Chains A and B, each alone.
Chain A
Amino acid sequence: MNFKLKDLGPQLITVIAVVLIFGFFTYNAQINMENRGIDFGYGFLSQESSFDVQFSLIEYDGSHSYFRAYLVGLLNTILVSVIGIIIATIIGVIVGVARLSPNYLINKFAAYYVEFFRNIPLLLQIFFWYFAALRALPLPQDAEAIFGVFFLTIKGLYVPAFIWENFNIFFYSIVAAIIAIIVIRFQAKKLQETQGKQIPVFLIAIGLIFILPLLSFLIGGVSLSFEIPKLKQLAATSFVYDGGLSLPPELIALTLSLSLYTATFIAECVRAGIQGVGKGQKEAAASIGLTPNQVLKLVIMPQALRIIIPPTTNQYLNLTKNSSLAAAIAYPDLVLVFAGTALMQTGKAIEIVSITMFTYLSLSISISILMNWYNKKIAIQEK
């Protein structure tokens, strides 16, 4: 009996304290809002937003609802986070491995990169890439074409748009290729376990992912054409590119600064992970006759990943949360569109800030869950 009370007591007190604190804040907010004649409610989400957004992944204009504006901001935040995480991971892994390189030049270059970029505040880097670096870009009319079809200007990066015919057949061919690769991998593993034979899965996979979509072009009736951006004159000295796809400079600057900044931390995680694997492991693997490639793939990496993943998860979370600095350079993310413009137009501060906080919390928790699942998958399977 005593034992149970000792266990439950602190937990009960914690729960009561949390409930009381939340209760107090809610009550306090309610009283104050009532005194000041402010209504509380989420009804505004269905009202017409009547403001436009520069860049959106879904169809949106001012005649849509505030909820739709929220989705626009959310998708833009996810977009910049996903691209940022991918690029940061690639740079991070390369630089992390480079820091361990015996080559003096590569080694030092990677070290200087890490020390330089991680020691400058992120907001300054964002301003640098947006106002200093991108401002140096030419006006649309002065831009030189890259490969004849890309145009990098101060108003953004213009790339050709794809115009597909029978896109669904192409899509199915890729799906078929992926399924085939999974089946072959499974069979190869079985073959190795039962008969000890090895087949070059990687080469077959590359072949499949190219050949099947290629076939869809040759015999499936798929065709692809490009719409190349064309220069259009707005006024005597004012030009813009018409047609094709345009990536706003705000997106480019934000992705660049977020990836370069976060990559430095990931690089350190990678370095720590690889250095954390005992030297004996490598020597033992080599001594049983594994090739250097196999040593890395079968012995070093599986052990290094266990050290790398948990701190890298933190960096992914940081990148996602840091993307809210977008507001400083007009990239229409969740904070700018929803906690900025929408908050101003409706005045629903408590509602909008609570939704925004909850959204970031959900995003972060989703990333955490995904990474924890992966971490568990690669952890030592104790029997």
Chain B
Amino acid sequence: MFKYLKQLTSLVAMVAVLFTFTTETMAAKKSKTLKNTQKKGFVRCGVSQGLPGFSNADAAGNWTGVDVDVCRAVAAAVLGDANKVKFTPLSAKERFTALTSGEIDILSRNTTWTLSRDADIGLTFVGVNFYDGQGFMVRKSSGITSVNQFKNGISACTNIGTTTELNMRDFFNSKGISYEPVAFEKADEVVAAYDSGRCDTYTTDKSGLAAQRTKMSNPDEHIVLPETISKEPLGPVVRQGDSVWEDIVRWSLNAMIEAEEYGITSANADSMKTSENPAIKRLVGAEGELGAAFGLDNEWSLRIIKQVGNYGESYKRNIADTGILPDRGPNQLWTKGGILYVPPAR
């Protein structure tokens, strides 16, 4: 009798092990990218070649910025360590090819979400981590205070391979102004050319203008005009065809934003486990089985919040405290007058 019981328990244990093993690997199997990432031990992330506040490397090679934090969040969720990220700096021209060819697994490089990019070229946008719009920068001494003062013959410096080039044409055409587009491959050269007086105005996303202004020889001599000529929702991108990986990246970003909404920060995340609010308990992994759907454990979001922080912390650290854009503008929570609104994590 005892012998049978022993056999039975070992059978049950075996089935249990097998079962957990298969459920674990089923999600991992569904996502080739997740499996590869776990095997390699790091997340492969494409970033910019240097845009303060978004993705910028310091002298020691440490990357910081809100775009960088998205990749760090994914690394925290799937590998347990926010530092296990390999960053690949990419020009605007190279970025999509790097992603579709499989050189990187997440593209988090202030990339505008548009229909043609989403539908045409084998990419999927997973969300928005910064709401931006295209603007113009001019020299203060020019006396220009509004885009309505632009005249025929104005020369505008910008980057190639961006939506900026298209918006600029639409804008100048609608105003009936003839202009000279001077388009460079790298942002540093755009700034150098504008700074030297080659162009009358420098146009790109307003966040970019604010960040690049800090690189000018004398930032106080330049102003960003108040008008915004386009919608530029910037967000992380993944390859088409791996919906589990897509979900992991999407919800890593969403978890950061929702954590801010519920007041969960890197400092108080552990103590929130005993919260009365079930929504908070779900986010810190004290309730529900949210991670299982991705093939992750239940503390994936807790690790994101503890290691990277919530969206507000990331914004403050990278964009507000560095003096780039102290005012959060539309990138404020919907509960505080902004337009950051994410589906609930449940």
Q: Does B229 contact A (CB under 8 A)?
A: no
Q: Does B214 contact A (CB under 8 A)?
A: no
Q: Does B100 contact A (CB under 8 A)?
A: yes
Q: Does A211 contact B (CB under 8 A)?
A: no
Given A37-B240, A131-B196, A340-B93, A240 and B120 contact (CB-CB distance below 8 Å): no
Q: Does B97 contact A (CB under 8 A)?
A: yes
Q: Does B325 contact A (CB under 8 A)?
A: no
Taking CB atoms, residues of chain B closer than 8 Å to A345 are 161, 165-166
The answer to whether A341 and B142 touch across the interface, beta carbons within 8 angstroms, is no
Taking CB atoms, residues of chain A closer than 8 Å to B121 are 38, 347
Given A37-B241, A155-B155, A345-B166, A332 and B183 contact (CB-CB distance below 8 Å): yes
Measured CB to CB, the closest approach of chain A to B225, in angstroms, equals 12
Residue of B120, B142, B182, B189 near A238 (CB, 8 A) is B142
Q: Does B96 contact A (CB under 8 A)?
A: yes
The answer to whether B200 and A238 touch across the interface, beta carbons within 8 angstroms, is yes
Q: Does A292 contact B (CB under 8 A)?
A: no
Closest chain B residue, CB of each to CB of A132: B196
Closest chain A residue, CB of each to CB of B179: A52
The answer to whether B239 and A344 touch across the interface, beta carbons within 8 angstroms, is no
Taking CB atoms, residues of chain A closer than 8 Å to B149 are 235
Q: Does A217 contact B (CB under 8 A)?
A: no
The answer to whether B142 and A237 touch across the interface, beta carbons within 8 angstroms, is yes
The answer to whether B241 and A155 touch across the interface, beta carbons within 8 angstroms, is no
The answer to whether A340 and B160 touch across the interface, beta carbons within 8 angstroms, is yes
The answer to whether A50 and B142 touch across the interface, beta carbons within 8 angstroms, is no
Taking CB atoms, residues of chain A closer than 8 Å to B240 are 36-37
The answer to whether A235 and B200 touch across the interface, beta carbons within 8 angstroms, is yes
A-contact bits for B186-222, CB 8 A (1 contact / 0 none):
1001001100111010000000000000000000000
| 8 Å CB interface, A1-59 against B | 33, 35-39, 50-54
| 8 Å CB interface, B148-184 against A | 149-151, 153-155, 157, 160-162, 165-166, 168-170, 173, 179-184
Taking CB atoms, residues of chain A closer than 8 Å to B326 are none
Q: Does B185 contact A (CB under 8 A)?
A: yes
Sorting the interface of chain A by its residue count into under 10, 10 to 19, 20 to 34 or 35 or more gives 35 or more
Q: Which of A218-226, A294-302, A322-330 contacts B (4 or more CB under 8 A)?
A: A322-330
Measured CB to CB, the closest approach of chain B to A50, in angstroms, equals 5
Taking CB atoms, residues of chain B closer than 8 Å to A349 are 96-97, 100
Residue of A50, A332, A344 near B161 (CB, 8 A) is A344
Given A50-B166, A341-B160, A347-B96, A329 and B117 contact (CB-CB distance below 8 Å): no
The answer to whether B93 and A344 touch across the interface, beta carbons within 8 angstroms, is yes
Taking CB atoms, residues of chain A closer than 8 Å to B109 are none
Closest chain A residue, CB of each to CB of B161: A344
Q: Does A207 contact B (CB under 8 A)?
A: no
Given A51-B165, A341-B183, A240 and B155 contact (CB-CB distance below 8 Å): yes
Taking CB atoms, residues of chain B closer than 8 Å to A250 are 182
Measured CB to CB, the closest approach of chain B to A123, in angstroms, equals 12
Taking CB atoms, residues of chain B closer than 8 Å to A340 are 93, 160-161, 183, 185
Residue of B139, B169, B181, B189 near A329 (CB, 8 A) is B189
Q: Does A205 contact B (CB under 8 A)?
A: no
Taking CB atoms, residues of chain A closer than 8 Å to B200 are 234-235, 238, 240
The answer to whether B181 and A328 touch across the interface, beta carbons within 8 angstroms, is no
Taking CB atoms, residues of chain A closer than 8 Å to B244 are none
Given A154-B196, A329-B189, A235 and B183 contact (CB-CB distance below 8 Å): no
The answer to whether A235 and B122 touch across the interface, beta carbons within 8 angstroms, is no
Taking CB atoms, residues of chain B closer than 8 Å to A84 are none
Q: Does A118 contact B (CB under 8 A)?
A: no
Measured CB to CB, the closest approach of chain B to A327, in angstroms, equals 5
The answer to whether B181 and A53 touch across the interface, beta carbons within 8 angstroms, is yes
The answer to whether B96 and A139 touch across the interface, beta carbons within 8 angstroms, is no
The answer to whether B141 and A236 touch across the interface, beta carbons within 8 angstroms, is yes
Residue of A35, A131, A232, A343 near B93 (CB, 8 A) is A343
Q: Does A242 contact B (CB under 8 A)?
A: yes
Taking CB atoms, residues of chain A closer than 8 Å to B183 are 54, 330, 332, 336, 340-341
Jot down 13 A-B pairs with beta carbons below 8 A, ordered by A. Answer: A53-B181, A62-B169, A236-B142, A237-B141, A242-B153, A328-B185, A330-B193, A336-B160, A343-B93, A344-B93, A347-B117, A347-B122, A349-B97
Closest 10 CB pairs of A and B: A347-B121, A344-B161, A236-B143, A235-B142, A36-B122, A135-B196, A38-B122, A237-B141, A240-B153, A330-B184
Instruction: Please list the residues of chain A having a beta carbon within 8 angstroms of any beta carbon in chain B.
Output: 33, 35-39, 50-54, 62, 131, 135, 139, 154-155, 232, 234-238, 240, 242, 248-250, 327-330, 332, 336, 340-341, 343-347, 349
